[in-house]
Amino acid sequence: MAIFVDLEEEPSQAPAVRFPNVIQHEIYRDINQLRITPNIEQEQPKPKARSPSPTVPQDTQASLEELYSALNSEPEVQLPAAIRAFACYPVVIAIASHIDLNTLDSLSRSCRYIHDSLFQFHNALMRSTLHCNREELRAQGALDHETGPYGFKTNYCARDMVSECRRCGCVVCRNCVIKPPATPALKGRHRRLCLDCTKAPLTSLFVPPMDEKLANREIVNHAMCTCQDEGVWLCKSCGQGNNSADSLYHRLWSWRLQYGEIIGGLGTGIGDGDRGVICGRESRCIGAKEREYEIDCDAEDRRTPSPTISGSGSGSGSGSSSPQLGLSHAITTLDSASAQLQLQVPTARKEPGYSRHQIEGIGGQLRTKLVRMVRVGASVPEWSDERSSRAILAKEIKGETRSWCGWCCRPIPGEKDRAAFGVGQK
């Protein structure tokens, strides 16, 4: 194919039908600007007058293909090593394994060189992005009874919005997260911290803790609670009990603000010492101490399987899987025999001892209590203005003091924390 250009045409006409919106003198003007190299030694170059109709050299007989190739040519620039690394296949595959499709698309739009480098590995990158942990279960049909975050059933996992759960860290997609809560429900996620956790550096409350000197604005903003600004991203196992936990926590505070007046002031001091509302961090509290915790053994034994049954079951399973036995009915026989033996002979596990205390219950029945040592958080303070105004966690909701998020288990900064690290989250 040949394209003929008449250089004697009027400037107002198009040079060819293929490029109807391009004027010839504009093409030559752009080429002349590319050929002009700035003088580095000259400190203040004189401005060059721009003529409205630049002259076209008569000895130039170039086609439009060559003209546009000259326009698209760019001077070679020494790129940083971080950008040139995207041309390496192992590097881009390792990066793609930690991001989803949306982040990969944004990365390809950041630079032309990165786009060209990623485009040559297009098929491999599409397969290497983040996958939801429940994708295999959905493919096997084990989660067909579950519904998506908006109430409808989903038989597949998404690939465009995949991220880690803000609480447990497992990778979930947008179809496997909880439904976004309403805006008024965000106030119920606040938990009050004890004095030790409030006065401690904010970086010591991160998971894992971080040195305050090494923290910057981006790291601090990622490690803090982002449920209000960036949305709630929790898996179903972590977020299914948030509403009940918030209601229980607020009912506890409502009772604390009223019990002194209901019983005529007799209950004053009940919340002092180790009998108050514990810190929002619970066992991870800085001022946590080990305390005795009593559990009803009858209820605990019903929940926990007996070690004799589990041990006999594991032994029968290992024996039946061996080539010497190889009989399918041996498993059923051994399981039934171990179950009968468990019902007839009481084990030492259920006998009273150091950790199991036998007490007399209602009606003269003997019951046992299991005593365990657990870490319990320190008691949180109770302010006098809350009792008078009947406002529960008012300072934490307004963002005046530091609090703890009961949903994602991350700290919520106060006014001093936001001023120290320059973050604007409340």
Same domain, 88 and 138: yes
One DSSP character per residue, 259-306 reads HHHHTTTTTTTTTSGGGSPBPTTGGG-TT-EEEEEEEEHHHHHHHSPP
CA-closest candidate to residue 405, choices 388, 378, 384, 425: 425
Q: Which residues pair with 406 in a beta bridge?
A: none
Residue 234 lies in a domain: no
Residue with tokens 């170059």: 45
Edge-to-edge order in the sheet of strand 411-412: 190-192, 403-405, 411-412
DSSP character at residue 235: B
Q: Please check whether residue 293 is in contact with residue 373, taking contact to mean a CB–CB distance below 8 angstroms.
A: yes
Nearest to 29 by CA among 55, 7, 47, 3: 55
- Distance between CA atoms of residues 179 and 30, nearest Å: 55
User: 10 Å Cβ neighbour count for 253?
Assistant: 16
Looking at the fold, whether 368 and 384 belong to one and the same domain comes out as: no
Considering the domain boundaries, does residue 187 fall inside one? no
Residue 1 lies in a domain: yes
292-325 pLDDT, tens digit per residue, is 888 777 665 555 554 443 343 334 333 433 333 3
Question: How are beta strands 190-192 and 403-405 bridged, if at all?
Answer: antiparallel
Label residues 83-92 b or e (16+ Cβ within 10 Å = b). Answer: eeebbeeeeb
Are 248 and 388 members of one domain? yes
Q: Is residue 182, in this structure, part of any structural domain at all?
A: no
Let me know whether 165 and 205 are in one domain: no
* Torsion sign, CA atoms 382, 383, 388, 394: negative
Q: Please tell me the total count of domains within the chain.
A: 4
Say how far apart CA 50 and CA 29 lie, in whole Å. Answer: 10
What integer pLDDT is reported at residue 296 of this predicted model? 77
Residues 275 and 408 in one domain: yes
Q: Which residue pairs, CB below 8 angstroms and at least 24 apart, start in 75-80? A: 79/113
Segments of the chain scoring below 70 in pLDDT: 1-77, 139-155, 259-275, 298-354, 424-426
Same domain, 61 and 124: no
Same domain, 251 and 224: yes
Same domain? For 133 and 260 the reply is no
86 found inside a domain: yes
Q: Which of 101, 227, 100 is nearest to 167 (CA)?
A: 227
Structure-block tokens of residue 181: 């809560």
Is the same domain home to 266 and 333? no
253 and 204 share a domain? Answer: yes
CA-CA distance, 381 to 246, in Å (whole number)?
19
**Phi–psi pair at 210, nearest 5 degrees:** -135, 150
Query: Is 106 found in the same domain as 135?
Result: yes
* 346 in a structural domain: no
114 and 130 share one domain: yes
Hey, which residues does 164 pair with through a beta bridge?
Answer: 171
Enter the tokens of residue 214: 């090494």
User: What is the span of the domain harbouring residue 94?
Assistant: 81-173
Helix, strand, or coil (residue 379): strand
The verdict on residue 237 lying in a domain is no
Sign of CA dihedral 322, 323, 329, 330: negative
297 neighbors 368 (Cβ within 8 angstroms): yes
3-state DSSP call for residue 415? helix
Q: Is residue 91 part of a domain?
A: yes
Terminal C-alpha separation, the chain: 66
Helix (H, G, I), strand (E, B) or coil at 243: helix
